[in-house]
Amino acid sequence: MPNTLPQISFGTDGWRAIIAQDYTFQNVQACALAVALKLEASNQTHRGVAVGYDTRFQSQAFAQTAAQTIANRGIPVQLSDRPLPTPALSLAVTNMNAAAGVMITASHNPPEWNGFKVKSEAGGSAPPDQVERIESHLPLTLSGNAPKPTSSTAEIKTTDMVSPYLDQLASLVDIDTIKSAGIKVAVDSMHGSGAGIIATLLEGGNTQVTEIRSEINPAFPGMKQPEPVDDNLHPLIDLISNQDFDVGLATDGDADRLGVVAGNGTYLTTLEVFSMLFHHLKSRRNLPGGAACTITMSSMMDRLAEHHNTDLYRTPVGFKFVGPAMIDNACVLGGEESGGYAFAGHIPERDGPLSALYFLESIAKSGKTPTQLLAEIHQITGPHTFRRIDIQFTPDQRDRLTQALNHNAPKTLGNLTVQNQDRQDGLRLNLSQNAWAVVRLSGTEPLLRIYAEAPTTQTRDAILNDFRTFLNA
């Protein structure tokens, strides 16, 4: 029987599914064909498509299937010659002046998952209107009723997309200052496609880079999933804690996210890192522009934007919203709570290695440790502490949770008063004392996510508990 549309829908950042269950070669072919039909409808086939893949199980084979499907429609394809970071694929789209990009990856999902990300001609996540046009072709591609191609099969050219990416990163940051600073860096690539990127760029100087978990292993052993959060970074935290390192840096499965561990072994939250990067770009690099971030990003950003006399733009979760907001408002930085940060002068897309290099640049230029850099932020914003909890739910619970999200919001959380609310993605409640909470359903996994930030851990955890009780989750 043919596949049906409900099996494939593009969430926050592309389509993801469990390998061999819904993520099959047939369904990857259907997605690739839908991309090709969208390009045919918009007369963009001559510009071609860039295709890349990560280190997950069968990612290369899935990428070859996608590439062949697109080429069969007469659309030229450039296919990466090796696993690569998603931002390297995104950069290749812009370097080729391609009409779109396809990246085979499930990013930070558990090892049994794979995915299909679509990149716009600007190199960012495909915006909602483009995703809708691709999805509109899925009924035809899934049922096998797509129109026959009118052109002969085009060429698939195997291409080095990593070397131009390395050159681009080196042009954006002060590599010489970082290399000469003598920083002792530990890098955890989490068995993903970011392995070797930072070490290659920093070799030959006084700064020393030690890599762990750099070999390809699609089982991602020793972690729940290749997401650079504290629960998955015990080897890196142990290394930093027991040896003389200044900082630890981790990238996720497809290297579009960054996790940071300070020299004392303390994990820095993604909200702290984003705020520190913004302050670095404004105070030490003196770069123009504000910041774009999701509703789940720190309220420290509001204080920092005021401090630097610039603007802050908040969006729903997903870089398909953050990237366009960056472009439209000429922002210096864009980011989301998941640890994905994008930078002006590059692509409007998350970039883990570039984020790591800018963080190292902040250490090199300031002469401060990561904990001192965080203290510098707190002098401006006051203390902030953040936590996110993820609650797995079954398909039959989705309707109840959706109704709960649409219900009247609580008046207080953690003994703090709700001052206003934002419903552009789930529910964000802005509280007194610059605290806030968000609850939303993940766009990529069957998870209810509850976020909270407050001046103290006690208040933060009380907010989370109250919100969870309110939702009966």
DSSP string, 162-194: HHHHHHHHHHHTTHHHHHHTT-EEEEE-TTSTT
The total domain count for the chain is 3
Burial of 441 (0-12, 13-18, 19+ CB in 10 A): middle
Domain holding 188, by residue range, is 173-381
Q: Of 161, 187, 209, which closes a domain?
A: 161
Which pLDDT belongs to residue 12?
64
85 inside domain: yes
Verify that 133 and 261 share a domain, yes or no. Answer: no
Instruction: State the DSSP string of 39-80.
Output: HHHTT-GGG-EEEEE-SSTTHHHHHHHHHHHHHTTT--EEEE
Cβ neighbors of 145 (< 8 A, separation 6 or more) are none
In angstroms, the Cα distances linking 407 to 314, 427, 431 are 23, 10, 18
Output the tens digit of pLDDT for each of the chain's 473 residues.
Answer: 344 444 688 876 789 999 999 999 999 999 999 999 999 999 999 999 999 999 999 999 999 999 999 999 999 999 999 999 999 999 999 999 999 999 999 999 999 999 999 999 999 999 889 999 999 999 999 999 999 998 899 999 999 999 999 999 999 999 999 999 999 999 999 999 999 999 999 999 999 999 999 999 999 999 999 999 999 999 999 999 999 999 999 999 999 999 999 999 999 999 999 999 999 999 999 999 999 999 999 999 999 999 999 999 999 988 889 999 999 999 999 999 989 999 999 999 999 999 999 999 999 999 999 999 999 999 999 999 999 999 888 877 777 887 777 777 889 999 999 999 999 888 999 999 999 999 998 876 788 899 999 999 999 999 999 999 988 77
Cβ neighbors of 131 (< 8 A, separation 6 or more) are 10, 118, 320
Phi, psi for residue 191 in degrees, rounded to 5: 65, 20
**C-alpha 213: how far from chain center:** 20
**pTM of the predicted model, to two decimals?**
0.92
Distance separating alpha carbons of residues 10 and 310, to the nearest angstrom: 34
Verify that 223 and 153 share a domain, yes or no. Answer: no
Cβ neighbors of 406 (< 8 A, separation 6 or more) are none
CATH number at residue 459: 3.30.310.50
CATH number at residue 238: 3.40.120.10
Strands (E), 271-382: 291-294, 312-315, 333-336, 340-343
AA letter at 425: D
In angstroms, the Cα distances linking 40 to 100, 148, 455 are 12, 12, 53
Verify that 325 and 396 share a domain, yes or no. Answer: no
CB 225 within 8 A of CB 218: no
